[in-house]
Amino acid sequence: MELNNIKDPKDIKNLSIKGLEQLSYEIRQFLIENLSKTGGHLAPNLGVVELTLALHYLFDSPTDKLIWDVGHQAYVHKIITGRANQFHTLRQFKGLSGFPKRSESEHDVWETGHSSTSLSAAMGLAIARDLKQEKHRIIPIIGDGALTGGMALEALNHIGHEKRKMMVILNDNTMSIAPNVGAIHNHLERLRTNERYLKVKDEIEFLMKKIPAIGGKVAKAAEKIKDSLKYLVINGALFEEMGLTYFGPIDGHNFEDLFTTLKLADKTDGPVLVHVVTKKGKGYRPAELNADKFHGISPYKIESGEVLKKEGPPTYTEVFSKTIINIAKKNSDVVAITAAMPSGTGLNKFQRVFPERFFDVGIAEQHATTLAAGLAIDGLKPVLAIYSTFLQRSYDQILHDVARQNLHVTFAIDRAGFVGDDGETHHGVFDIAYLRHLPNMTVMMPKDENELQHMLYSAVEHHHGPIAVRYPRGSGIGVQLDPELRQIPIGKFEIVKQGYGIAILAVGPMVSLAEQAAKRLEEFGIFPMVINARFIKPLDEELLFQLAEKHFQILTIEEGITSGGFGSSILEFYANNNLDHIDIKIMGIPDEFIEQGSIPKLRELVGLSVDNIVNQVRYIATKHKRRA
Ligand SMILES: Cc1ncc(C[n+]2csc(CCOP(=O)(O)OP(=O)(O)O)c2C)c(N)n1
Ligand SMILES: CC(=O)[C@@H](O)[C@H](O)COP(=O)(O)O
Ligand SMILES: [Mg+2]
């Protein structure tokens, strides 16, 4: 079987089980090889090879709708639906997306990237199907991690109530990115350990036979039976109670088991849930042994699984991780929360040092935020580390629970700005706009990794009220880290280069671009002032008034959406103070969803480049020379 010859799911439908097993092997080799060059979500995909083939073999995509939750495990689906030959472009600029994309294929029914949306989407599709009196299947595939998300539970509640035909596939590999957590996870664990049921059943039979003979021990034995029976009846109870017929648990790597159960489930009326047990990373030893690392991996050496990492300065995440541990060592009130991203946020290290002060709440950003509010109201100092894109889920909790009550919660917002390969679902470019309009909220962004540590310290130890520190994905710019943490005065910008005529107000990594541009502008006889606008809110009003008095023109630069962003706040400031003699130009991300690509490429795409800053400043300078 030549993978590149598979252009359509129909091409696998004549295969025998042996043929499917051979194909599974080839797909795994294909993934291991391709992803060693491009990087990507290897372990989740290695785990769903047989499951994906079984679904495409038995059912008829795209008439039947396969809806992948999160979508990071849809690579095998992409291969089967004619995209194998594009895998060398995976997650690259203009290349194949790492998630389902409707523009890529009619088989990609639902676009994702964020977790736990599949069941709600499936419910919508099921209602639409029924109202239109159509007959196709609706098949959401959700992981055990994604099932910890509140949205999934809200949808299950509705699915069980509506009783419409739908086949929910629960892909249970016991892992979120890290080992999964929570009471539902424990329930699945009990269901999964099927041998235990068989053992319990044997045990009961054994005891039953013994009862007449053991006389006085009858009571004890009966009690044991009762306990054992309790275990037996929990099989699927949670889902059954919610109104879904439960099938499983079944071995997700065994085609015979998959076929038998999926066919049976398909014949059942109403909503069903098929509990499929898979192994994350299956078939590639390094990924099986370290599924967390291989969840989403950069290019690696196939033989060892070693990541081909370029040496460089520490990442912002690493600096956050180290700093928050140091702060917590001196202050026992500091607690840390993650929503299923311990390694991604660097809080896994905090967990090792302070296991009792660390909380992984699962994929539950909303709960995490209100949990932090609860902790803060009783005097603790919660630090909530969440990626910018996922914090979008918590908007109301930040507003209603944290900001409104003016609670001291520190939001460590990682992956702020472009994130690169994950693309439009994951870029952290909206948080300035969705945070800065909230009363009581303080929003900061450091110009480098050294400033990040001081900001964290200032936020946790010298502030009261909601405060956000946003920082980018990847390495810092390579500056020295000060050994002592110091307080940064709230609402004070930093002038990094004196100048005249034009002031560049830059946020975060844009400060370094602005400095480079200012150097280049000297050859044109233009000497702009460069300001590190480290507080997005509150603004440094004193400095802004001074700039107005000295008749500066202004260029703002941020790696965020311009509507409602930092530049907008500067416009608002001068407009509200009737200082309309100042020309303000805003550089940032336009009103569009920006695709995937390397961070430098995407910055260039939207004009956040040194060249463009030079051009914009020259334009402003020429315009004002003409006017003068
Ligand atoms: C709202 C949201 N929060 C966090 C994430 C990051 N994330 C992506 S996949 C994943 C784990 C998903 O686990 P599971 O559904 O079990 O899939 P598996 O990788 O195990 O196949 C997490 C936490 C996300 N995509 N969306
Ligand atoms: C699918 C998903 O949401 C995560 O796996 C995400 O890709 C992680 O991103 P980082 O690589 O930036 O941690
Ligand atoms: Mg999982």
Per-residue pLDDT of 342-398, as tens digits, reads 999 999 999 999 999 999 999 999 999 999 999 999 999 999 999 999 999 999 999
Task: Confirm or deny that 461 is annotated as ligand binding.
Answer: no
Are 44 and 88 within one domain? Answer: yes
Active site annotation includes 365: yes
Determine whether the shortest distance from the Cβ of 6 to ligand 1 is under 6 A.
no
Residue (of 382, 318, 371) closest to 348 by Cα position: 318
Nearest to 502 by CA among 532, 527, 525, 539: 527
* Pair of tokens at residue 171: 């892909």
The C-alpha angle 47, 52, 54, rounded to 5 degrees, equals 120
Q: Write the DSSP symbol of residue 92.
A: S
Is the CB of residue 419 below 6 angstroms from any atom belonging to ligand 2?
yes
The helix (run of H) or strand (run of E) holding residue 621 is helix 610-627
Shortest-distance atom of ligand 1 to CA 173: 20
Q: Are residues 392 and 515 in the same domain?
A: no
Q: Is the pLDDT of residue 505 over 70?
A: yes
Looking at the fold, whether 104 and 247 belong to one and the same domain comes out as yes
**Sheet with 271-277, side-by-side order of all strands:** 65-68, 138-143, 166-172, 271-277, 245-251
- The alpha carbon of 309 and the centre of ligand 3 are apart by a number of angstroms equal to 26
- Kindly indicate the confidence band of residue 317, based on its pLDDT and cuts at 50, 70 and 90: very high
Q: Whose CA is nearest to atom 17 of ligand 1?
A: 143
Atom 21 of ligand 1, nearest CA residue? 44
Residue 265 resides in a domain: yes
Do 87 and 30 contact (CB within 8 A), yes or no?
yes
Question: Per DSSP, what are the bridge partners of residue 470?
Answer: 413
Q: d(Cα 385, Cα 390) in Å, to the nearest integer?
A: 10
Omega before 472 cis (within 30°)? no
Q: Is the CB of 72 under 6 A from ligand 1?
A: yes
Task: Please check whether residues 514 and 432 belong to one and the same domain.
Answer: no
DSSP 394: G
Residue 500 marked ligand-binding: no
Round to whole Å and give the CA distance between 12 and 77: 12
Q: What are phi and psi of 226, to 5 degrees?
A: -60, -45
13 plus 94 within the same structural domain: yes
pLDDT value for 195: 57
**501 and 454 co-located in one domain:** no
Ligand 2 centroid–CA 292 distance in Å is 11
Domain containing 594 — which CATH number? Answer: 3.40.50.920
> Averaged over 332-341, what is the pLDDT?
98
**Which ranges constitute the DSSP H helices of 70-217?**
75-78, 118-131, 150-162, 183-192, 194-214
Question: Is position 94 within any domain?
Answer: yes
Contacts of 333 (CB under 8 A, 6+ apart): 379, 380, 381
For residues 538 and 533, what is the distance between their CA atoms, to the nearest angstrom? 10
114 lines ligand 1 (CB under 6 A): yes
- Alpha-carbon distance of 366 to 359, in angstroms, equals 14
| pLDDT 10s digits, 160-170 | 999 999 999 99
Instruction: Describe the strand order of the beta sheet including 410-414 as a list of residue ranges.
Output: 358-360, 334-338, 381-387, 410-414, 467-470, 442-444, 535-537
User: With contact defined as beta carbons under 8 Å apart, do 553 and 624 qualify?
Assistant: yes
> What is the CB neighbour count within 10 angstroms for residue 263?
10
Distance of alpha carbon 107 from alpha carbon 379, whole angstroms = 51
Structural domain for 33, as ranges: 3-289
Tell whether residue 365 is among the known ligand binding residues: yes
Is 502 in contact with 554 (CB distance < 8 Å)? yes
Of ligand 1's listed atoms, the one at least distance from the Cα of 114 is 26
**pLDDT for res 226:** 47
Both 461 and 547 in a single domain?
Answer: no
Q: Are 143 and 277 in contact (CB under 8 A)?
A: no
482 within domain boundaries: no
**How high is the pLDDT of residue 233?**
46
Active-site choice (78, 101, 393, 537): 393
> Are residues 186 and 258 part of one domain?
yes
pLDDT (tens digit, 9 = 90+) per residue, 175-196?
999 999 999 999 898 888 765 5
CATH number at residue 251: 3.40.50.970
Give the β-pairing of 65-68 and 381-387: unpaired
Q: Give the number of domains in the chain.
A: 3
- Under 8 Å between Cβ of 457 and 487: yes
Residue 453 CA to ligand 3 center (angstroms) comes to 33
- Residue 57 gets which letter from DSSP? H
**Residue 394 contacts by C-beta under 8 Å, 6 or more apart in sequence?**
365, 366, 368, 369, 386
pTM exceeds 0.80: yes
In a domain, residue 276? The reply is yes
User: What pLDDT does 310 receive?
Assistant: 80
Share of the chain above pLDDT 70, in %: 93
Check 78, 129, 280, 473 and give the catalytic one.
280
| Whether residue 393 lies in the annotated active site | yes
Exposure string over 50-82, b if 16+ CB within 10 A, otherwise e: bbbbbbbbbbebeebbbbbbbbbbbbbbbbbbb
Whether residues 225 and 338 share a domain: the answer is no
The pLDDT of residue 523? 97
Q: Does any domain span residue 299?
A: no
Scanning the structure block, which residue is given the tokens 């964290």? 456
The amino acid that residue 481 corresponds to is L
Could you give the CA distance from residue 182 to residue 187 in angstroms, rounded to a whole number?
Answer: 9
Q: State whether the beta carbon of 415 lies less than 6 angstroms from ligand 2.
A: yes
Query: What pLDDT is recorded for position 5?
Result: 78
Mean pLDDT of 517-544: 98
Which pLDDT tens digit goes with each residue over 396-449?
999 999 999 999 999 999 999 999 999 999 999 999 999 999 999 999 999 999
What is the CA(146)–ligand 1 centre distance, in A?
6
Cβ distance 250 to 277 under 8 Å?
Answer: yes
Same domain, 124 and 218: yes
CA of 60 to the centre of ligand 1 (A): 27
Q: Does some domain include residue 508? A: yes
Supply the pLDDT for residue 231. 44
In a domain, 488, yes or no: no
Nearest alpha-carbon partner for 101 in 118, 126, 78, 125:
78
Atom in ligand 2 nearest the alpha carbon of residue 415: 12
Q: In sequence order, what are the beta bridge partners of 150?
A: none
For all residues of the chain together, what is the average pLDDT?
94
Mean pLDDT across 560-580? 97
* Number of the ligand closest to the Cα of 176: 1
pLDDT above 90 covers a percentage of the chain that reads 89
User: Which one is catalytic: 50, 365, 449, 451?
Assistant: 365
- The set of long-range contacts for 18-27, using a CB threshold of 8 Å and a minimum separation of 24, is 20/50, 20/53, 20/54, 20/57, 20/255, 21/255, 23/53, 24/49, 24/50, 24/53, 25/283, 26/1, 27/3, 27/53, 27/76, 27/79
DSSP per-residue letters across 200-263: HHHHHHHHHHHHHHHGGGHHHHHHHHHHHHHHHHTTTHHHHHTT-EEEEEEETT-HHHHHHHHH
Are residue 246 and residue 188 in the same domain, yes or no?
yes
Mutate to test the pocket of ligand 2, among 42, 73, 426, 471 (most ligand atoms within 8 A of CB): 426
Please give the average per-residue pLDDT across 67-80, as a whole number.
98
* Torsion angle in degrees (nearest 10) through CA of 542, 557, 395, 97: -170
Pair 444, 585 in one domain: no
Does residue 361 lie in a domain region?
Answer: yes
Express each pLDDT in 200-249 by its tens digit. 555 655 665 665 555 456 556 555 554 454 444 457 889 999 999 999 99
* β-pair type (494-497, 529-532): antiparallel
For 105-135, how does the pLDDT look when each residue is reduced to its tens digit (9 = 90+)?
A: 999 999 999 999 999 999 999 999 999 999 9
Tell me whether strands 553-561 and 467-470 are parallel, antiparallel or unpaired: unpaired
Cα dihedral sign, 579-585-588-592: positive
CA of 172 to the centre of ligand 3 (A): 5
